[in-house]
Amino acid sequence: MKIICNKSALLTGVNTVLKAVPARTTMPILECILIDTTSGVIKLTANDMDLGIETTVDGDVLDKGCIALEAKLFSEIVRKLPDSEVTIETDDNNKALIKCEKAKFNIAGKDGEDFVALPEIEKTHFITLSQFSLKEIIRQTIFSISDNESNRMMSGELLQIDQDQLRLVSLDGQRISIRKISLKESYDPIKAVIPGKTLNEISKILSGDMDDDVRIYFTDRHVLFEFDQTVVVSRLLEGEYFQIDKMISSDYNTKITINKKELQGCIERASLLIRESERKPIIINVTDGSMEMKIQSAMGSMNEDIDISKEGRDIMIGFNPKFILDALRVIDDEEITMYLVNPKAPFIIKNDEQSYIYLVLPISFNM
Amino acid sequence: MKIICNKSALLTGVNTVLKAVPARTTMPILECILIDTTSGVIKLTANDMDLGIETTVDGDVLDKGCIALEAKLFSEIVRKLPDSEVTIETDDNNKALIKCEKAKFNIAGKDGEDFVALPEIEKTHFITLSQFSLKEIIRQTIFSISDNESNRMMSGELLQIDQDQLRLVSLDGQRISIRKISLKESYDPIKAVIPGKTLNEISKILSGDMDDDVRIYFTDRHVLFEFDQTVVVSRLLEGEYFQIDKMISSDYNTKITINKKELQGCIERASLLIRESERKPIIINVTDGSMEMKIQSAMGSMNEDIDISKEGRDIMIGFNPKFILDALRVIDDEEITMYLVNPKAPFIIKNDEQSYIYLVLPISFNM
């Protein structure tokens, strides 16, 4: 195999597929990046068996073939090469010669034929949305997946299509995060649970540009994302996701509207008095026109009043400050609205269009 | 005690003294920041017994007194307060009430009288230089101090004044770094070995501005830095520093001039093939007009030619790439000159004015 390409194009490609190289594996070949030019284009692939990424690099194929190069060393070499043309040439013993200006590297590779190919995906069902939208809704929900090993479903997110509505849902047993966006077209219904790791990695690769689209293909067992010069294939989590809609009630006894930034600052300050190991609640006391936030711990005490507008009953409720902060940090609205039922029932932060819904369980407290 | 000051001024002061709060200590009072207003100004102090920092904060003292507040919690509270006026009020039980807009914190403090005062320094011998210069020469030499516990002297830097010349020297047994600058005035000779930790912390606090001066006072056992609203006091390391000038020879058999960026890139690439645990040398082979760099390791091999201009004998020599890289990264010149004697003798990178001298021991190698 012999290829010539530009260093920066090669580096972009290498950095893209690097996200699918497993940190630890029992199959050494998976620690490699596959360079495959048998089809006449320079294709890079990495695969950790759950997640696979493939991307093409602009350049010339002088001699077709394929080789697997140890990902860490290869990526570091490419990163440190001068910004110029790179030649990669391999011999029959899978030795690779990497040349760039006057620098010459000789490293040992592995037979590209031994690399584990990505699964073939039948491209029938798909949706299209902008890279910006996909990246945003991942960021706005990914924080409430759980790495709880005993419940695999919680480690993924539900992606649901209903006509032109796309909904992304995550939950960890203490809270639920839901984002909904409108697509340009209507599609057949789809329900798929995508591993959180896949969503995390893909949101790092997406340009996040409004004008760049990403096409998502679904099969029963896989999802495939296609954008720019890149394809990401991931297994889906198999099984039924949680009955979200039964958990979200629209009943409430108290509705309050608050300045988001003020609330966030206040909760951040209160959090200072809680050690991470403690499960100590912050308590809010909602009365007409004002909300008092209180915390008392071994480190000291803190209280602060915030102006609110309120409908319905007074209420006093305790909660884990981290859960609310996670939600507030990804809401762009200046004012947010909270719906509360009673001190034992989950409360909800949502907007009128319900393009976001964040549900949080309260923590009981002793006065 | 009762004070009112601006949040941002208080935060600047807290962040400044925080550098002298010890990470671990057997004296809990030292984990505090002292707020002392007995002199009518707001003075913050931290002291780890080797290094002490004192700074003043603009604001009003409504009630004189002093209190010691746990540094970590206090600094985090100040950081998270709204950008507004802060009131700190203490009672007879050393409880502190911190108020800012509607936020109120109650935390327990310690008696300020128990805090360990900074040593009194007689202010007779001093020098003046710009904060920029001091910050620069620390950065350009600090990397070659040693944390070798068996030789305390190597953990500090020699600061030497000879008329209007200031010299800062560090060494770790494998290399020596020297920077020399001219001061605006001449002073009596001074020789002091300042702990590396002190120099590290002070370079973080210095504004680094050309127009801001720092005044440095010396006594037999202490050094005191005075700048802006801040005073830093540090113990000196006691004993004789190494005889540096005897180690630096001006004889050489080979003198080469190289583009610094090219050399740096080339060494960085070669370093990729060395694991940190190995003490494998990079080998350069210097001939007329060209230098070949070579490395061979279990990971592969690499070689690269660099154009040079050369006077004197051909030479082949091995060295630890990290040592050269550390020096190259703090040299601003486009071209650098290396002076070599033989493969067993130290080589030197310096400029004609000798405002910088970097000496590195070679590593022997087998062909």
CB contacts of B108 in chain A (<8 Å) are 300
Residue B160 C-alpha, separation from nearest chain A C-alpha, in angstroms: 39
pLDDT tens-place string over residues A226-260: 999 999 999 999 999 999 999 998 999 999 999 99
Q: Is residue A232 a contact partner of residue A47, using CB atoms and an 8 Å limit? A: no
pLDDT tens-place string over residues B315-362: 999 999 999 999 999 999 999 999 999 999 999 999 999 999 999 999
pLDDT tens-place string over residues B103-157: 999 999 999 999 999 999 999 989 999 999 999 999 999 999 998 778 999 999 9
Neighbouring C-beta atoms of residue B161, cutoff 10 Å: 20
A102:B265 CB<8 A: no
In A, minimum Cα distance to B107 occurs at: A300
| Residue A367 in this model has a pLDDT that exceeds 70 | no
Residue B251 C-alpha, separation from nearest chain A C-alpha, in angstroms: 32
Domain assignment present for B146:
yes
For chain A, the residues whose C-beta falls within 8 A of a C-beta of chain B are 73, 76-77, 80-82, 102-108, 265-266, 268-269, 272-273, 299-306
Q: Which of A213, A230, A245 is the last residue of a domain?
A: A245
CB contacts of B265 in chain A (<8 Å) are 80, 82
Predicted local distance difference test score (pLDDT) of residue A165? 98
Domain assignment present for B337:
yes
Domain assignment present for A168:
yes
A295: Cα within 13 Å, side-chain hemisphere = 28
> Which of the two residues, B279 and B232, has the higher pLDDT score?
B232
| Residue B236 in this model has a pLDDT that exceeds 70 | yes
Predicted local distance difference test score (pLDDT) of residue B367? 58
A255 with A200, same domain: the answer is no
Domain assignment present for A367:
no
Mean pLDDT score of chain B: 95
Predicted local distance difference test score (pLDDT) of residue A96? 98
Q: Which of A114, A144, A168 is the last residue of a domain?
A: A114
B210 with B256, same domain: the answer is no
Cβ neighbors of A265 (< 8 A, separation 6 or more) are B80, B82
- Which of A76, A268, A269 is opposite residue B272, by nearest beta carbon? A76
* Confidence class for position A343, pLDDT limits 50, 70, 90: very high
- Which of A107, A108, A302 is opposite residue B105, by nearest beta carbon? A302
* Confidence class for position A161, pLDDT limits 50, 70, 90: very high
Residue A166 C-alpha, separation from nearest chain B C-alpha, in angstroms: 37
Q: Is residue A62 a contact partner of residue A4, using CB atoms and an 8 Å limit? A: yes
Where would I find the H helices in A108-159?
A: 131-139
A65 with A95, same domain: the answer is yes
The answer to whether ipTM exceeds 0.90 is: no
In A, minimum Cα distance to B73 occurs at: A272
Predicted local distance difference test score (pLDDT) of residue B83? 96
- How far apart, in whole angstroms, are the C-alpha atoms of residue A231 and residue A226? 5
Our count of domains for chain A comes to 3
A160 with A271, same domain: the answer is no
B305 with B228, same domain: the answer is no
CB contacts of A266 in chain B (<8 Å) are 103
- Which of B105, B272, B306 is opposite residue A80, by nearest beta carbon? B272
- Which of A104, A272, A273 is opposite residue B304, by nearest beta carbon? A104
Domain assignment present for B294:
yes
- Which of B77, B82, B105 is opposite residue A265, by nearest beta carbon? B82
Domain assignment present for A365:
no
| Residue A149 in this model has a pLDDT that exceeds 90 | no
In chain A, pLDDT over 90 holds for what percent of residues?
92
Averaged over A185-199, what is the pLDDT? 97
Contacts 24+ apart (CB under 8 A), A7-11: A7/A78, A7/A81, A7/A82, A7/A83, A7/A84, A7/A85, A7/A86, A7/A100, A8/A83, A9/A57, A9/A58, A9/A59, A10/A57, A10/A59, A10/A78, A10/A86, A11/A78, A11/A79
B153 with B61, same domain: the answer is no
pLDDT tens-place string over residues A28-72: 999 999 999 999 999 999 999 999 999 999 999 999 999 999 999
CB contacts of A81 in chain B (<8 Å) are 269
A287 with A342, same domain: the answer is yes
Averaged over A181-191, what is the pLDDT? 96
CB contacts of A102 in chain B (<8 Å) are 304-306
A73:B299 CB<8 A: yes
Cβ neighbors of B38 (< 8 A, separation 6 or more) are B64, B65, B66
* Confidence class for position A278, pLDDT limits 50, 70, 90: confident
Residue A110 C-alpha, separation from nearest chain B C-alpha, in angstroms: 13
In A, minimum Cα distance to B293 occurs at: A103
Residue A77 C-alpha, separation from nearest chain B C-alpha, in angstroms: 7
Predicted local distance difference test score (pLDDT) of residue A79? 97
B168 with B200, same domain: the answer is yes
CATH number at residue B304: 3.10.150.10
- How far apart, in whole angstroms, are the C-alpha atoms of residue B363 and residue B280? 8
In chain B, pLDDT over 70 holds for what percent of residues?
100
Averaged over B290-313, what is the pLDDT? 95
Domain assignment present for B213:
yes
Q: Which of A58, A84, A114 is the last residue of a domain?
A: A114
The string of DSSP letters for A248-298 reads -----SEEEEEEHHHHHHHHHHHHTTS-TT--PPEEEEEETTEEEEEEEET
B200: Cα within 13 Å, side-chain hemisphere = 13
CB contacts of A272 in chain B (<8 Å) are 73, 76-77, 80
Dihedral pair phi/psi, residue A210, rounded to 5° = -60, -35
Domain assignment present for B306:
yes
Walk across the sheet containing A309-312 and list its strands.
A156-171, A175-195, A356-360, A347-350, A335-340, A254-259, A309-312
CB contacts of A299 in chain B (<8 Å) are 73, 107
B170 with B232, same domain: the answer is yes
| Interface with B, mutate which of A292, A304, A306, A307 (most B CBs under 10 A) | A304
> Which of the two residues, A91 and B367, has the higher pLDDT score?
A91
> Which residue range is the domain that position B188 belongs to?
125-243
A190 with A229, same domain: the answer is yes
B192 with B236, same domain: the answer is yes
CB contacts of B304 in chain A (<8 Å) are 102-104
Residue with tokens 């990264």: B329
pLDDT tens-place string over residues B49-67: 999 999 999 999 999 999 9
CB contacts of B76 in chain A (<8 Å) are 272
B51 with B26, same domain: the answer is yes
Amino acid identity, position A86:
V
Question: Which residues face A329 on adjacent strands?
Answer: none
pLDDT tens-place string over residues A123-133: 998 999 999 99
A107:B80 CB<8 A: no
| Residue A350 in this model has a pLDDT that exceeds 70 | yes
- How far apart, in whole angstroms, are the C-alpha atoms of residue B33 and residue B93? 17
- Which of A103, A107, A300 is opposite residue B105, by nearest beta carbon? A300
Q: Of A193, A180, A340, A328, which is closest to residue A266 (Cα–Cα)? A: A328
* Confidence class for position A24, pLDDT limits 50, 70, 90: confident
